[in-house]
A and B are shown apart, each in its own frame.
Chain A
Amino acid sequence: MDSYNAPESTPSASSRPEDYFIGATPLQKRLESVRKQSSFIPTPPRRKIPQCSQLQEDVDPQKVALLLHKQWTLYSLTPLYKFSYSNLKEYSRLLNAFIVAEKQKGLAVEVGEDFNIKVIFSTLLGMKGTQRDPEAFLVQIVSKSQLPSENREGKVLWTGWFCCIFGDSLLETVSEDFTSLPLFLANGAESNTAIIGTWFQKTFDCYFSPLAINAFNLSWMAAMWTACKMDHYVATTEFLWSVPCSPQSLDISFAIHPEDAKALWDSVHKTPGEVTQEEVDLFMDCLYSHFHRHFKIHLSATRLVRVSTSVASAHTDGKIKILCHKYLIGVLAYLTELAIFQIE
């Protein structure tokens, strides 16, 4: 019982919470950050307007072309354990074998046939926000054409990529055994995503979760993307709201000329280079009141489900399509932020 009968000390200091975590384990620190996240509003009240990134210049333009104008399904991903960029070839081989094994499992109709597919892992050099972000990488499943004379490239059946843009400031530092690429984007059959995701989960002990985008974050996207300076607009700015009613939900689409949207944004925008929460709210409120004046419908009572602009379009289901090469990094930075919020 003597053990705690200590000499005089300052009991006042002991009541401060920080003292509990003297020599805290990484897990305790992690918990600390979860606590902070849970007790405050998760999103910072201001963000940068997407800028053209310097690093992006290094990215192979052919690869960038692969990423644009495609619909991607978003996932968040916990850090990969023991992933190594020097083993991409080996991973290609292992994943290829895994896919073949999976496809043959229990399928009566396709037994004994060769799967003429090829798995290609490759890095997306330069696809990062800061130098400290880990390198993004791309996985492609390509069908090998059976006739050698036909185009040698083969058809891309499935594409997926892993990235982390400006993630370092948000991510808790993890030990060097882990590679943090919190954002995963997939394009192709869901069944393929399932097989490939399973392989990653088994091999790198990570966890994929679908990343939905709520209406709050969609409004942010609308504002940030409208704020981007564009040389020419390729698409109208369009919003889609969903009204929950039975038996089928009712969708309200609201399309605006992109220049009008920009003009509206400029009129509510004050802080240069940044977007604030008040500005986002004001921007959306203006749209709501405009709509109400004409149609007597309060859009604020419905749910925003899709936003499309010339920069990118996003759906609440967690689907995104990026149109503008210039702001690729900027779009991905926000998505990375959302993914990190889901895994932390």
Chain B
Amino acid sequence: MSPQKRFKNVQAQNRTSQGSSSFQTTLSAWKVKQDPSNSKNISKHGQNNPVGDYEHADDQAEEDALQMAVGYFEKGPIKASQNKDKTLEKHLKTVENVAWKNGLASEEIDILLNIALSGKFGNAVNTRILKCIIPATVISEDSVVKAVSWLCVGKCSGSTKVLFYRWLVAMFDFIDRKEQINLLYGFFFASLQDDALCPYVCHLLYLLTKKENVKPFRVRKLLDLQAKMGMQPHLQALLSLYKFFAPALISVSLPVRKKIYFKNSENLWKTALLAVKQRNRGPSPEPLKLMLGPANVRPLKRKWNSLSVIPVLNSSSYTKECGKKEMSLSDCLNRSGSFPLEQLQSFPQLLQNIHCLELPSQMGSVLNNSLLLHYINCVRDEPVLLRFYYWLSQTLQEECIWYKVNNYEHGKEFTNFLDTIIRAECFLQEGFYSCEAFLYKSLPLWDGLCCRSQFLQLVSWIPFSSFSEVKPLLFDHLAQLFFTSTIYFKCSVLQSLKELLQNWLLWLSMDIHMKPVTNSPLETTLGGSMNSVSKLIHYVGWLSTTAMRLESNSTFLLHFILDFYEKVCDIYINYNLPLVVLFPPGIFYSALLSLDTSILNQLCFIMHRYRKNLTAAKKNELVQKTKSEFNFSSKTYQEFNHYLTSMVGCLWTSKPFGKGIYVDPEILEKTGVAEYKNSLNVVHHPSFLSYAVSFLLQESPEERTVNVSSIRGKKWSWYLDYLFSQGLQGLKLFIRSSVHHPFPEQRA
């Protein structure tokens, strides 16, 4: 094997070319390259460190030693060599160490198998080599076929043959293909003659047999063998397999309860096999931890025999009906009148049979069936909902990966399961109570990373309820994660809270129109509902204000916050619900003084919508005349007017620090900015300045210096048209609705 041809999991960056560039590796590796005969230190090193933190360089050294060892074996023993035994021992050790630690590449296995079975070395060496042929990942089929061909030559001893068969049985699952090996079925079958090999060959055949391998002459042969050797468990196993494939060929009765047919051929390689399986599964995402929880002791026996988490759809014919004594099973199956689920294919079918639908035996199965989700959605049958509730609650609890240590391999499955639930919730436009209960239990334990997107979506589907009641159970835990996590996490939380708000609003706006208006406890309930929604909004306001401070007024974050308020400002008109909550000053002023035009534009839009909502409410109040508990307090209007004054003062009338934001004139003087008054209007505001310059350059492209202060009078309104044409629709709406004059009076 050439040195370039290496397939091990050695870090590429540590692979140095042969020769002078070896300065990158450590001394030990360097030494090996310098003096191939003196690699003792390496093998010793390997011995002393069974498993553990190897340096990359040691891996490298080991790799080289392995290549050398394999090369040595390939050449065969050198007769003349004086310390032949010593060298042999050294190389064997190297191979053993690497094999048990990392496994061997399929090329190396090919060579070693060849050596072990060709009889170049003695029996003891062959045994040792065979015992350490452990694949890193897979074994190529060709190597096995080649190895089997050596068996025909008769160069290896009986014990080596036995060991080879045992090895083959143990490694069977790691052989990449089996077609060629199956072609050798006849050869293996003939080896049954050999008494010593018989048990192991039987085991191999047991693994290998396909239906087409079962032939009458083979059955006869097996029966002959059985007659000769007596009732051997391994023969019985093979016979019963044959009987399974071709019952007509075998009339002999075989004993029933027999569990162990084969002596465990794999014993020799037990730990190695586990390691290979682990490697093939890929690196475990979560290192094994030492934990104090009770859960890590318990092996996971999760799925008893179902392949998926969600049960298969089955109608429950026998549960209900077979309960009745007089009814036999066949009656149940043939009875008319109810509509079997298996036949349910379309929505019209569902509508026609909704009164006589046979429900599934396991309610959880509806999750995968959109038609039945419709059914679940409209049915008000308590047992149906309870069955679904119980199933979903327990399944979530069982599957949740951060409840149990070492459960991370099921992460993908859990994510998929959550996705399915979320799809169902979106489909129904309704959250499940089980999910809410699950969040109560699992959110305090959540790390904020695992299944983040799914988890936050679950939050946005929490059914509407009293905010103050849910807050300590959910939002307080979420807040802890919110404040300690990255800006991206903060944004996703805000996004999901926006969706939560939207879902609550939709639910409430549907709800009040469905219930009768007069003299029901509705009024109090609606009042309470509005109270709950307003608490949610205030809570998000608090989160946002603090987050803005923590993230030093990040524009990115502000976008998400304003997205939330875009929903908030339109509650009265869009959802027909009596609620207007303004944003907190920390958000308003951050947005107003932002350097980002799109933020300012969004702020203008939100202010415009607040205005629309508040005027609509006011108008409604005047029409109704009677005082309603939902009349907004004058404080809301005052607050809005205050914001409005500030905004108009800054952007339009160039009187920024008078009414809205009040800053002491003395302090303003100290700043030394001479022209502070117009510095925040639509021309000079930092986020608009570039527009002003572009506008002027467009007007007179030859101008070498631009004077933005020249934008006044007629030019001011042209400039506005220019801004509107640049897609600043929010600004347009705001100015159209809140500023009554085409341009500021003072400039007219």
Contact = CB atoms under 8 A, between A and B. Distances in A.
Contacts of A242: 297
Interface stretch (B223-231, B464-472, B538-546): B464-472
Interface string B627-666: 1111000000000000000000000000000000000000
Contact of A27 (B325, B389, B627): B389
B186 interface: no
B305 A102 contact: yes
A271 interface: no
Contact of A87 (B323, B469, B517, B629): B323
B206 to A, nearest CB: 9
Contacts of A343: 390, 393-394
A295 interface: no
Contact of A209 (B244, B318, B325, B397): B397
Nearest to A174: B386
Contacts of B368: none
B445 to A, nearest CB: 12
Contact of A38 (B306, B441, B628): B441
A201 interface: yes
Contacts of A84: 323
A246 B433 CA distance: 42
18 contacts: A4-B526, A13-B524, A20-B525, A27-B389, A35-B470, A38-B473, A78-B391, A81-B383, A82-B319, A94-B322, A109-B237, A194-B305, A197-B304, A209-B398, A244-B291, A244-B292, A305-B297, A342-B397
Contacts of A151: none
A54 to B, nearest CB: 32
A110 B256 contact: yes
A20 B386 contact: no
A34 B462 CA distance: 14
Interface string B348-369: 0000000000000111000000
B386 A175 contact: yes
A53 interface: no
Interface in A74-122: 78-79, 81-82, 84, 86-87, 90, 94, 102, 108-116
Contact of B320 (A82, A112, A213): A82
Contacts of B465: 20, 31
A8 B629 contact: yes
A78 B630 CA distance: 44
B243 A17 contact: no
Interface string B398-430: 100000000000000000000000000000000
B305 A195 contact: yes
A40 B270 CA distance: 48
Contacts of A68: none
A310 B620 CA distance: 77
B386 A178 contact: yes
Interface of B: 237, 240-241, 243-245, 247, 254, 256, 258, 261, 290-295, 297-298, 301, 304-306, 311, 314, 316, 318-320, 322-323, 325, 361-363, 382-383, 385-387, 389-391, 393-395, 397-398, 433, 436-437, 440-441, 465-466, 468-470, 472-473, 512-513, 517, 521-529, 531-532, 576-578, 620, 624, 626-630
Contacts of B311: 201-202
A209 B322 contact: no
A31 B437 contact: yes
Contact of B528 (A19, A35, A115, A246): A19
Interface residues of A, number: 82
Contacts of B292: 244, 303
Contacts of B391: 78, 205, 207
Interface string A186-222: 0000100111011001111111011011110000000
Given A11-B629, A175-B382, A198-B306, A16 B528 contact: yes
Given A22-B525, A27-B433, A30-B389, A94 B318 contact: yes
A27 B294 contact: no
A139 to B, nearest CB: 16
A95 to B, nearest CB: 12
A214 to B, nearest CB: 4
Contacts of A207: 390-391, 394-395
Contacts of B385: 25-27
A6 to B, nearest CB: 4
Contacts of A1: 576, 620
Contacts of B258: 109
A212 B295 contact: yes
Contacts of B319: 81-82, 203-204
A177 interface: yes
Nearest to B320: A82
A108 B240 contact: yes
A92 B297 CA distance: 34
Given A14-B523, A207-B395, 19 more contacts: A6-B629, A7-B523, A9-B629, A17-B468, A17-B469, A19-B525, A20-B529, A26-B385, A34-B440, A39-B472, A82-B323, A87-B322, A111-B243, A112-B247, A114-B256, A194-B301, A202-B361, A205-B316, A245-B290
Nearest to B627: A8
Interface string A13-48: 111110110100111101100110011000000000
Interface in A316-344: 316-318, 342-343
Nearest to B314: A202
A62 to B, nearest CB: 27
Contact of A90 (B323, B436, B512): B323
A149 interface: no
A246 B624 CA distance: 76
Contact of B244 (A38, A94, A108, A317): A108
A231 B292 CA distance: 37
Contacts of B325: 86-87, 90
A202 B362 contact: yes
Contact of B298 (A28, A212, A244): A212
A110 B240 contact: yes
B390, B470, B513 — which one has the most chain A CB atoms within 10 A of its CB? B390
A5 interface: yes
Given A28-B433, A207-B395, A19 B440 contact: no
Contacts of A13: 524
Contacts of B529: 20
Contacts of B620: 1, 5
Given A22-B521, A82-B319, A175-B382, A198 B305 contact: yes
Given A30-B433, A78-B390, A109 B304 contact: no
B407 to A, nearest CB: 13
A136 to B, nearest CB: 20
Contacts of A79: 386, 390
A3 B301 CA distance: 55
B440 A14 contact: no
Nearest to B515: A3
Nearest to B617: A1
A178 B390 CA distance: 12
B208 to A, nearest CB: 13
A343 to B, nearest CB: 7
A342 B294 CA distance: 14
A212 B473 CA distance: 24
Contact of B383 (A3, A20, A178): A178
A3 B151 CA distance: 91
B387 A205 contact: yes
A267 interface: no
Contacts of A246: 290
Contacts of A7: 523, 626
A293 B386 CA distance: 54
A14, A22, A28, A193 — which one has the most chain B CB atoms within 10 A of its CB? A14
B323 A4 contact: no
Nearest to B304: A194
A314 to B, nearest CB: 11
Contacts of B395: 207
A42 to B, nearest CB: 11
Contact of A215 (B244, B247, B294): B294
A212 B294 contact: yes
A301 to B, nearest CB: 9
